Amino acid sequence: MTKIIISPGKYIQGAGELKRIKDHVGHLGKSFFIIISESGHKRFGETVKESFGDSVNIHFAKFNGECSKGEIKRLEEEVKSIGADVIIGIGGGKIHDTAKAVAYYQGLPVVIVPTIASTDAPCSALSVLYTEEGAFDEYLLLPKNPDVVLIDLEAVASAPARLLVAGMGDALATKFEARASSQSGSTTMAGGLPTDAAIALANLCYDTLINEGLKAKLAIEKKVVTKAVEKIVEANTLLSGLGFESGGLGAAHAVHNGLTVIEEAHDLYHGEKVAFGVLVQLVLENASIEELNEVLYFCNEVGLPTTLADLNMANVSNEKLMEAAELSCAEGETIHYMPFKVTAEDVYAAILAADAIGENFKKQYI
């Protein structure tokens, strides 16, 4: 039985690190193609330019908002026209995944610079592709992790607190999905069985969320970096990234993928939908009420959705929920890594039960 753990070439986290980006990535090449949103360029463009100076060529490419095959192809053509030898993605999860895909297809090194800590995408050898309309398309498995992941805590602290909380929702799934994958003996995204190290990191990720999550949220609301913020950024990004990729996935992310077909939920962040997916997975597992209550308490404490109403889905038809359940169980989905067979009917029932459990908890404790 082969066990594998993979990780980025280098992970750097600290305050003001974006000002030193050239020091961290300058050895990779002489021409840098930087994928960034328009708002991201306004916030960080000058800092990046000043760090690189005149010794290398840099080109900023505007990201159009969706990690789709069309967007990846468009940026590939731009890379070839520029003749760049390094790809940098500065921004959020979809920019990260786009940068990784472009670098893969062009055979170039890639640097990921998260300016928010809303997903565990930065560290992984994976890009999640969506349609132009924002529905889940497919996973693109990559042969290696990013060469460098660089996180500037000051940039993260300047972003809305909701984004950090969304990252906690994504990270929340890590322990439960790794546990399920380990129980079923499923192959992980890393290409082998879950390692003990990955399971330990997944458990540490969960413990960090429970102990530091609320403190970090309150600090970010004041735009300051504290020890709790440092710990949560590491949990959201590194611990969750290593934990999911080398520990395994399960139902929570599959449920997220199913929910992407529901238009009412399109304004929700990835991690917010994953958090509800965790509750659905726990219902599928018939988890203890103690475990459910701990997760529900945490989610309500930091502001993660625990009901369909929280997801703007209170009035979504049962037929549409069934469509989401069916997509969750599509061939190749990670829900089939659970240690028991799961059908669309099971997921549909678990969605409604999770919603009822979430509503009941709010009535009793909120």
78 burial (CB, 10 Å; 0-12 / 13-18 / 19+) is middle
Amino acid at 26: G
Residue 90: in which H helix or E strand, if any? Answer: strand 86-91
- Residue in the structure block whose two tokens are 């879950």: 194
The pair of structure tokens assigned to 57 is: 């060529």
What pairing do the DSSP bridges indicate for beta strands 136-141 and 126-130? antiparallel
**Which residues, at least 6 apart from 263, have a Cβ–Cβ distance to it below 8 Å?**
none
Tell me how far CA of residue 281 lies from CA of 3, 148, 329, in angstroms: 25, 33, 13
Residue 253: in which H helix or E strand, if any? Answer: helix 251-259
Catalytic residue among 85, 120, 256, 346: 256
Active site residue 253: yes
Catalytic residue among 24, 41, 96, 253: 253
The pair of structure tokens assigned to 354 is: 């999770």
Give counts: helices (H), strands (E), the chain: 14, 8
Q: What angle do CA 239, 242, 248 make, to 5 degrees?
A: 115
Active site residue 41: no
**Which residues, at least 6 apart from 90, have a Cβ–Cβ distance to it below 8 Å?**
34, 35, 36, 40, 44, 48, 113, 115
Catalytic residue among 137, 170, 310, 355: 170
Residue 206's closest CA among 180, 237, 168, 241?
168
The pair of structure tokens assigned to 140 is: 């693109």
Catalytic residue among 270, 310, 346, 355: 270
- Residues forming a β-bridge with 32: 58, 86
Active site residue 256: yes
Active site residue 270: yes
3-class SS string, 166-204: HHHHHHHHHHHHHHHHHHHCCCCCCCCECCHHHHHHHHH
Q: Which residues are catalytic?
A: 170, 253, 256, 270
